[in-house]
Amino acid sequence: MWKKRKPAIQIKSRDQLAVMREAGLVVGRTLQRLSEAVKPGITTAELDAIAEESIRSEGATPSFKGYQGFPASICTSVNEEIVHGIPSSTKVLAEGDIISIDCGAIVDGWHGDSAVTVPVGEISSELQRLIEVCEESMWRGLAAGRAGGRLSDIGHAVETYVRGQGPYGIVEEYVGHGIGTQMHMDPAVPNYGEAGHGPDLVPGMCFAVEPMINLGTPETVLLGDDWTVITGDGRRSAHFEHTFAVTEDGPWVLTALDGGRGAGRD
């Protein structure tokens, strides 16, 4: 008999999660180095060089490089760029900018994927607040990734938090994802929706939670380079991402250096 197929979600063993943790730590340490390197006058190509050196020096492989033809080891998305900005030697960071740095690494075939948004020098209080709201919404989503819950609990937690903070735009065209032996796997993990829908969350599942929050409307535009996604209204956007595993003890944030105690792991 033909049987209707549900999207298969890869379940990792304890040993496989340990390798994903190694990949996650490479990403976490690399993003820490990059955050410290961000300053007015540095180019996004210089940041990319630091990232590639950091990842390879730990014996890992940059997962973005060559992914569907992407030319660099990180995505660098400045100001109105939301995600997938391409590092460039002509893109010079300036005081007051904000930059999203998205990084992925592979260890023994297992992936980690994480992003942070970092201020360049002094930024306005409005932008500082945007960054804080975006990061906290990610943590709310991670905290909702508990065994016994449902997949849509994650997006619901992100959306509920953001809606309570002001008239921010939650990007809908780009979403989080399953992750494991590939960077992008089933299922999609939206940053919005009702709770209590979708697959049951089971220990060993891994997901990347990555809210993209705009100061203005949620609309997006894809630039002619076929990579860079910008806001439709030209206002600025923030992006945070962590990879986590569902465990019996709560979410284990594989790309957080402390394992994500902020997400309430017991």
Q: Minimal CA–CA distance to 76: which of 36, 34, 111, 105?
A: 34
Tell me if 20 contacts Mg ion by CB under 5 A.
no
Helix (H) or strand (E) holding 98: strand 98-107
Give me the least distance between CB of 4 and Mg ion, in Å please: 28
Closer residue to Mg ion, CB minimum distance, 22 or 102? 102
Tell me if 187 contacts Mg ion by CB under 5 A.
no
Sheet holding 206-209, edge to edge: 185-189, 176-178, 206-209, 242-245, 252-253
**What's the CA gap between 191 and 213, in Å, rounded?**
10
Please, are residues 158 and 152 in contact by the beta-carbon 8 Å criterion?
A: no
Give me the least distance between CB of 51 and Mg ion, in Å please: 12
Q: Which of 22, 52, 97, 113 binds Mg ion (CB under 5 A)?
A: 113
69 DSSP assignment: G
Give me the least distance between CB of 25 and Mg ion, in Å please: 16
Residues 28-57 that bind Mg ion (CB under 5 A): none
Paired strand residues for 209? 242
Closer residue to Mg ion, CB minimum distance, 80 or 113? 113
Q: Which of 130, 189, 208, 212 binds Mg ion (CB under 5 A)?
A: 208
For residue 264, report the phi and psi dihedrals to the nearest 5 degrees.
80, 30
* Stretch touching Mg ion by CB under 5 A, among 19-27, 46-54, 97-105, 252-260: 97-105
* Stretch touching Mg ion by CB under 5 A, among 11-19, 55-63, 204-212, 248-256: 204-212
CB contact set of 2 (below 8 Å; sequence gap of 6+): none
* Stretch touching Mg ion by CB under 5 A, among 123-131, 146-154, 233-241, 251-259: 233-241
Contacting residues toward Mg ion, per CB under 5 A: 102, 113, 115, 208, 241
